[in-house]
């Protein structure tokens, strides 16, 4: 129900960048160049340029705001897909480095979990096979303001399914021996060394990490669906209890994809909007959404289709809250009748002693 790499997604990215650089003619021209010339397979090249795209994307990741990050879904998907394809062509183990300045608060958290914890990177992570090059980014020989720490990450990369690749041949700056990891990559925190003017942090990426997280990932896949869509995002926000933003995305799907949204997709959106309204205590509104689901289903499905069961049950539940007991019982009965028609009912009769 949402194309992360379609024209609309690309336009959202361009609009966000133009807004950010509205007073910068130079960057506006580069945005126009991207808009007119970008082709699939060029994501890494554009990302590694010292330009609007790198700065805007990383600024979006730093906000930790789903609404902001969503506007950059086009380039996130393009970068991830390109890295994933390059990962499959490279299976050798390696050691890479990243120099960085982080807050003292974050550094203490990393120290606390050394040997037993994990760290997930919330952006595309640029590293180098050259430790001297990486150290230059950690400001190790500079006096840092209070509350900041100089860190050199050493990352051992063994067999892993997490997307990463040597991007020298695709980079706009090809001589940096750069290894780029996809956003969300998880590492184990092995060891932390404090040498007075900074920290060395040893991390590892292995299949062991993926195996430990597989059950968790599968749980979320089961809950929200294996193929991420805008509806997936809405369901994820519902699971977090962020009903206002979930409502925004389901309504956006209906408003922006009205003619393209199929009947099943429309029913799903209305159903979730009903559940959100119900959770917010807006029962009349919830009932209206459930009746819209019913209208869509009645025009497209056989009258005894199993999907009607949930709809009638939800309508009945709202009517119970509103004190419409007679109507609620009728809808519960409709739901039960449909359920029973789709089951092999087995009744066990206990024998008399």
Cα 65 to Cα 47: distance, rounded to the nearest angstrom: 21
CA 246, distance to chain mean position in Å, is: 14
Distance CA 337, CA 165 (A): 56
DSSP string for residues in 158-178: -S--S-EEE-TTT-SSTTS-E
CA 19 to chain centroid, in Å, comes to 23
Question: Dihedral of CA 256/230/273/304: which sign?
Answer: positive
Q: Looking at the chain, which residues constitute the CATH 3.90.176.10 domain(s)?
A: 90-207
Of 45, 41, 42, 76, nearest to 60 by C-alpha is 76
Of 217, 92, 201, which Cα lies nearest the Cα of 155?
201
* Per-residue pLDDT reduced to its tens digit, 154-168: 999 887 778 888 888
Looking at CATH, the fold of the domain delimited by 213-341 is given as 1.25.40
Helix (H, G, I), strand (E, B) or coil at 157: strand
The pLDDT tens digits for 199-246 are 999 999 877 666 666 665 555 555 545 455 677 778 878 877 889 988
Location of each CATH 1.25.40.10 domain in the chain: 213-341
Contact 136, 183 (CB under 8 A): no
Radius of gyration of the CA atoms of the chain, in A = 26
Pairing of strands 178-181, 125-128: antiparallel
Domain range 90-207, CATH architecture: Alpha-Beta Complex (3.90)
Distance from the Cα of residue 64 to its chain's centroid:
11
Global pTM value: 0.69
Q: What is the pLDDT of residues 261-308, one digit of tens each?
A: 788 888 999 999 999 999 999 999 999 999 999 999 999 999 888 899
């Amino acid at each position: 129900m949402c194309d992360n790499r379609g024209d609309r997604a690309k336009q959202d990215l361009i609009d966000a960048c133009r807004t950010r650089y509205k007073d910068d003619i130079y960057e506006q021209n580069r945005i126009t160049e991207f808009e007119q010339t970008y082709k699939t397979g060029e994501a890494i090249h554009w990302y590694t340029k010292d330009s609007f795209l790198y700065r805007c994307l990383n600024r979006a990741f730093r906000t930790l705001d789903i609404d902001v990050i969503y506007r950059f879904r086009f380039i996130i998907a393009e970068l991830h897909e390109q890295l994933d394809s390059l990962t499959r062509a490279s299976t050798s183990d390696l050691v890479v480095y990243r120099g960085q300045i982080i807050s003292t608060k974050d550094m203490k958290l990393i120290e606390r979990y050394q040997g037993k914890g994990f760290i997930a990177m919330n952006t595309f992570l640029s590293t180098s096979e050259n430790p001297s090059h990486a150290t230059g980014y950690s400001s190790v020989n500079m006096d840092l303001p209070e509350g900041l720490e100089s860190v050199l990450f050493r990352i051992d990369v063994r067999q892993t399914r997490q997307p990463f690749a040597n991007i020298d041949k695709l980079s706009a700056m090809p001589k940096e021996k750069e290894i780029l990891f996809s956003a969300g990559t998880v590492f184990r925190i092995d060891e932390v060394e404090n040498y007075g003017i900074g920290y060395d942090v040893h991390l590892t990426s292995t299949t062991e990490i993926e195996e430990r997280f597989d059950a968790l990932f599968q749980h979320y896949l089961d809950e929200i669906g294996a193929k991420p869509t805008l509806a997936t995002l809405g369901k994820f926000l519902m699971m977090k209890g962020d009903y206002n933003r979930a409502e925004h995305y389901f309504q956006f799907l209906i408003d922006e994809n009205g003619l393209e949204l199929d009947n099943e997709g429309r029913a799903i959106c209305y159903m979730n909007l009903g559940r959100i309204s119900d959770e917010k205590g807006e029962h009349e509104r919830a009932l209206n959404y459930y009746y819209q689901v019913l209208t869509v289903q009645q025009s497209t499905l056989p009258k005894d289709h199993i999907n009607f069961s949930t709809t009638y049950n939800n309508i009945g539940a709202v009517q119970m809250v509103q004190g419409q007991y007679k109507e609620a019982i009728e809808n519960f009965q409709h739901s039960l009748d449909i359920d029973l028609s789709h089951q092999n009912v087995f009744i066990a009769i206990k024998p008399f002693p």
